Structure formats: C-alpha cells, structure tokens
Structure 1
Amino acid sequence: MKLATWNINSLKVRLPQVLDWLAANPVDALCLQELKLPDEKFPLEAFTEIGYQANWAGQKTYNGVAVITRGAGTDVQRNLPAYDDHQQRIIATTLDSPMGDIRVISAYCPNGQSIGSDKYEYKLEWFKALRSWLRDELQRYPRLAILGDYNVAPKDEDVHDPLKWIGDVLVSEPEREAFGSLLELGLSDAFRQFEQEEKSFTWWDYRRYAFRRNAGLRIDHVLLSQALQPYCTACVIDKAPRANEQPSDHVPVIATLDFAAALA
C-alpha cells in the first residue's frame, strides 16, 4: 500500500501534472494541499476517469485539501471538529487495507508568516488543536497516517543553510516543539525511519534558482502511528515534478506499507 502527499499549489493550474503523476505512480492514496479552489470547482470527474475517488475541503483562492483514493473512503472528517476555523486545512477519511481500517489524513498546516505575528500565534494554536484531535483519533483508529505540508523543518538537517534561516518561520523552536508534540503521541516521521541522502528537501522557493542550487527545506512529511510503523518499508521524495514546466514549489513524498509478512 502506497500513501503520498503533495502540496500542489493550485489544482486548477496543475491538474494535468497530478493526473500524469498518478498514471506513473499509482498510489493507493494521494493527499493534496493548497487546492486553491472552492468545493464546486473540484475536478472529481478527472479523477474518476482514471479509477480514483476523492474527498476534499475546498476554499476559493487559498488553502484546500483532498485525499485521492483508489477505494471509497468512509467516516469523512472536514477540519478540526473542536477548533473554529474558516480555513480549510484538514480532510480525513478511512480506507480498507489487508490489516483493517487505516485512517488517512491530509493536512495543510499554517505557514505562520513571521515570528511574533498574529499568523504565527494562530499557527501555534492550530498545532495544539491538531494534537488534541489526533490524540482522540489515535484511540479510534490505531492505524493512522497523517500526511501533508506541515510548514515545519523539524531539524537543521532539513534546512539547506540553517544559519541563514535563524529568526525565520518554519524553523523556530516553538514550531519545532509543536511538530515534536505530534511525535510524542506515538507518531513517527516515516522519512527518518530510513537512511537518506543529505540535503533531502521537499520545497524550494521559486526565486533565486533555489531548486537548481538545491536550496530547499524538508517541510512535507508522512507521520505514521505505532501500529503502522513496522510495516513501512520505504519513504522517498520524488523530485522529478519540480522540473516540470510551471511546477509546484513542493514535490511528492511517498511511503510504502508492506503487510505481506504479517498476513503470511
């Protein structure tokens, strides 16, 4: 079973790239962020034509998340139920697997804009609400995966030049602590379960030839519950779409879960 995440930075603009990527990478679930289109504009037919289904939470111009799946999802949850927020940042659905139900969540965490700003405080509050909700979700769904753009580079190794980023959002200690509080629930960063190349990133600014210089950050993550961790056999970053014409500034991250040994 393969689970992937991709901040597509406008599904309207990059729908052909998503469809092409799914044709070449037929994952079981693809979590998308920054749809940047309202619910009624979601291109469901384009996905059903290639054998996929979808659940989504759209928003005009900003935000928006989706989970594109091979099988039908159930018990769909839109946004954090105990946190009043008009921004569309969470969509969750439950999928069948050989091991039973798996809860798959697509998350677009706030950027924070700048340290000390209202948006930064909102980001930290939002992470607290996310943690509280995930604590309850893990009780209901021990097999849980939350994938998305967390807008946090957890450690200096996830930053191309840590000294340059001192004092900026995405790397501040409160943000890293907020990310770490999710791991304290028993979630693990699937990418770091394996030996990886140095300077492995998922986002590069459009400016200053950042992708060409590999001046990026690793801010897109796949977090797996303890019940899923033993079955994760790989987690990789697919940099190829960043070289597309009019690419997203993010690239997909794919985790592979292998249940064969447990079912043998």
Structure 2
Amino acid sequence: MSATTTDTLDLMRVATWNVNSVKQRIPRLLPWLDQRQPDVVCLQETKLSDDAFHDVLGADLAERGYEIAHNGQGQWNGVALLSRVGLDDVQHGFADVPEYDGKVEARAVSAVCGGVRVYSLYVPNGREPDSPHYIYKLDWLAKLGASIADPASTMLCGDINIAPTDADVYDPASFDGHTHVTAPERDALAALEALGLTDVVRRRWPGERVYSYWDYRAGMFHKDLGMRIDLILAGSDPAERTKAAWVDRLARKGTKPSDHAPVIADLDTAPDGDVGPMVPPPSNPAKRGGKKVPLPQSQDK
C-alpha cells in the first residue's frame, strides 16, 4: 500500500491514535498496523522516554517498514510519528512552545512525510476553566497556530481535547461549565481552521453522530456515549486529496483497548472504500441528550 519515495506527494493513509500508554497497547497496536496498513501513524500518550519507546517497539516497527520520530518524557504525555513514506525535517515541539510549571511537555512532534508536514499532537486537557492548565491550553494552541509556516501542505493530527461543536459530545448539557466545550477552546480550534485547515471527518460526515473517545466506565462505549476530540485538520492540498475519513471504532472493542479509537484519512485512494463515519457503527446507541450521565473524572497530567 505504501510508497517509498518522498519526491512526490505520495501519502496515502494517515492515522492518529491516542493509545493511552503504548507499552500496554502493543498487543493491540501491532496487529492493527498489520490490518489497516497505515502509511503514517500519529500516536499520543505513549508515556515512555525516547529510548524506552525504541527499545519496546523499534524492531517491530522497522520490520514493518516504519521510521520513527518520538518525543517522550517518561510516564506522562509523549507523542510519536511512524512513517513508511519518509520522515524528514523532524521537529520536537514547535516554535515558542509554552512551558507548564517550568517545563516544556512532550506534546508535539512533526515531520515531512511524503511531501506533507504531519503533526502528532497531544493538546493539554485544560482540567478546569480558568485554571492555570486551561490558560496554558489556550496559549499552547495559539503558539501552535503561529508556528505553522505552510498551512496548505500541513496536517494536524491528534488528541485535540476539544469537541468542535455540541454535536461532537453525547450530551451537551452534561458538559456545561466544563472543559473541552467552552467558547474560548472552540475559538482556539476555529483559529487553527481559519489558517486554511479542514476537519476532514466532519466535512465528509456533516450531520452524522461520530465520536472518537468513550470513557472506560461500564456501558459508555456500548451505548455510544462518547466525544469527538481526536481530529485530523488538513491543509488545502491533503484535504482536497482526501477520499475517505473515518473512525476505526473496531480498535476500541475487545480486550484492553485504549479509550480512544484511531481516526483515519485516506489520501488519493481509499483502500477500504468510502467507509464511515465509524467502522463498525454502534449496534444500540443511547439517545443523545437522554438521561444525564456524569462526566469522566480522569484528567491528564
């Protein structure tokens, strides 16, 4: 499926996945790579140092033809780029990336893959509106946008930790006053899109119920009480070349899954066809805005 030259824009399948600890997810990740055959993979919450990531996955990824760029900090955060179409001009973080609590966190890595600059991003959670972490989140997003030199040939992929609209959460009323849905966060996301970036999943499925994250609590996934916070924002070139955009919900099923599902964009060719919005779709989704369900309590670090 993949091309091997970076002389032309030969990117085909791009995927982003918050694996929520890559070491725990290896039994799921490697078979998924073999099944879906992505050309570029953006991983978030690897929770490993750079050396540890290469130790536990380097040989298996090399066997599958992937080059690796990883930006890690041990037990928290961590992002990776895996590419079979070239990995050039690797950048950890971005220009003027802000600090939190005196440290630059491992939340961004980018490289030119097949002629497109692809970012793997783990946007700060924000925790509580008006908290220091929330202010950090907004500053982080603003600095990210200011650092993008060529939006037309850029793809921002990752756990953005913002639901773009009320349609992207299972019950908007439950989120009132909480992060992920506040106006300043959505304005920060809109500012990125104003650079010329397109939310390719929502463009393809404008009116569909589609989520990428479901809390681990019993029943949330099976009732499809989720959020769409994992996004692929594509510049004009990759956006126009996108033939399919979808959530690989199958990867959220089964034993010891991440609480996030991969999001996939197929450029130029859609090997599985124009599938989606979620594959497979939920069999018995609960009604949106029905009985109020408490919000997840987990927060990132």
Normalised by the length of structure 2, the TM-score is 0.81
Q: Tell me what 2:234 maps to.
A: 224
Q: Is the 8 A contact 2:98 2:140 kept in 1?
A: no
Partner of residue 44 from structure 2, selected from 33, 54, 71: 33
Alignment: residue pair count: 252
Please tell me the root mean square deviation across aligned C-alpha atoms, in Å. 1.5
CA shift at 1:7, angstroms? 0.3
Unaligned stretches of 5+ residues in structure 1: none
CA shift at 1:228, angstroms? 2.0
Q: Does 1:16 align with 2:34?
A: no
Q: Tell me what 1:154 maps to.
A: 164
CA shift at 1:242, angstroms? 1.1
Q: Tell me what 2:288 maps to.
A: none
Aligned residue type for 1:112: G
Inter-partner Cα distance in structure 2 for 1:137 and 1:45: 33
Q: Is the 8 A contact 2:16 2:120 kept in 1?
A: yes
Q: Tell me what 2:220 maps to.
A: 210
Inter-partner Cα distance in structure 2 for 1:253 and 1:197: 17
CA shift at 1:143, angstroms? 1.5
User: Which string of whole-angstrom CA distances, capped at 9 and with x for unpartnered residues, describes residues 79-134 of structure 1?
Assistant: 022224320011101122xxxx1111111100001112111111011111111012
Q: Tell me what 2:75 maps to.
A: 61
Q: Tell me what 1:108 maps to.
A: 122
Partner of residue 119 from structure 1, selected from 133, 151, 159: 133
Inter-partner Cα distance in structure 1 for 2:207 and 2:33: 25
Inter-partner Cα distance in structure 2 for 1:175 and 1:239: 26
Q: Does 1:195 align with 2:209?
A: no
User: Which string of whole-angstrom CA distances, capped at 9 and with x for unpartnered residues, describes residues 187-212 of structure 1?
Assistant: 00000221367321000111242111
Inter-partner Cα distance in structure 1 for 2:76 and 2:134: 17
Q: Is the 8 A contact 2:72 2:79 kept in 1?
A: yes
Secondary structure of the equivalent of 1:131? helix
Relative to 1, partners in 2 of residues 1:12 and 1:259: Cα closer, same or farther, differing over 3 Å?
Answer: closer
Secondary structure of the equivalent of 1:163? helix
Query: Percent same amino acid at aligned positions?
Result: 38
Q: Does 1:76 align with 2:63?
A: no
Aligned residue type for 2:18: N
Q: Tell me what 1:88 maps to.
A: 106
Inter-partner Cα distance in structure 2 for 1:242 and 1:197: 22
Q: Tell me what 1:173 maps to.
A: 183
Q: Is the 8 A contact 2:107 2:123 kept in 1?
A: yes
Query: Where is the helix percentage greater, Structure 1 or Structure 2?
Result: 1
Give runs of aligned pairs for residues 124-143 of structure 1, distance below 5 A. Answer: 124-134=138-148, 136-138=149-151, 142-143=152-153
Q: Is the 8 A contact 2:120 2:156 kept in 1?
A: yes
Aligned residue type for 2:262: P
Inter-partner Cα distance in structure 1 for 2:126 and 2:205: 30
CA shift at 1:137, angstroms? 3.9
Q: Is the 8 A contact 2:155 2:233 kept in 1?
A: yes
Unaligned stretches of 5+ residues in structure 2: 1-11, 271-301
Q: Is the 8 A contact 2:197 2:233 kept in 1?
A: yes
CA shift at 1:144, angstroms? 1.3
Inter-partner Cα distance in structure 2 for 1:252 and 1:197: 20
Relative to 1, partners in 2 of residues 1:200 and 1:12: Cα closer, same or farther, differing over 3 Å?
Answer: same
Q: Tell me what 2:14 maps to.
A: 3
Secondary structure of the equivalent of 2:221? helix
Normalised by the length of structure 1, the TM-score is 0.92
Give runs of aligned pairs for residues 232-243 of structure 1, distance below 5 A. Answer: 232-243=242-253
